[in-house]
Amino acid sequence: MMEEDIRAHLNQCGLKATPQRMRVYAAMCQLGHASADSLYQFLGGERCTMSLATVYNVLESLTEAGLLVQRPSFSNKMYFDVNTTPHGHLYRWDTHEIRDFSDSSLRQTVEARIREQLPAGLVLDRVEIQVVCHADYETASEKEAL
């Protein structure tokens, strides 16, 4: 998303395109997925011109504006995601890396099955598919030896 598009989107949502919002969103575009803490470190940590509280507040305002989506993680941390379209995640527990994957057929199948089993009185908001994995170091070592 271009800087002008971000400014226009923020303005449409009633938010000013402050330097803090623009800087946080630009960093999120580089990272793709980040917790507030990891984003703060990416921005310079204690050398950052924003406090950690400001980073949290900016992330919340960008989420409310629809530029980011909050995604719970397997590690019980809240991550923010610049990809606001429906998609799944591969979470590597050994590195805490998150990668996007898209499989609309899988998503539709899971959503249909959940709707069939959803108790009365509940409405399905969305399905978050997160696959937890790690590197297969044995296989990687065997391949390198060949």
Q: Which domains does the chain have, with CATH numbers?
A: 1-82 (1.10.10.10), 85-146 (3.30.1490.190)
Tens digit of each residue's pLDDT (9 = 90 or more) over 12-35: 888 899 999 999 998 999 999 999
Can you give the pLDDT at residue 25? Answer: 92
Nearest to 129 by CA among 95, 81, 64, 94: 81
Tens digit of each residue's pLDDT (9 = 90 or more) over 60-108: 999 998 899 998 876 778 899 999 999 999 888 888 888 999 999 999 9
CA dihedral 61, 49, 39, 87 (to 10 degrees): 40
Contact 99, 90 (CB under 8 A): yes
Amino acid at 4: E
Tell me the pTM: 0.79
Can you give the pLDDT at residue 79? Answer: 92
Contacts of 54 (CB under 8 A, 6+ apart): 20
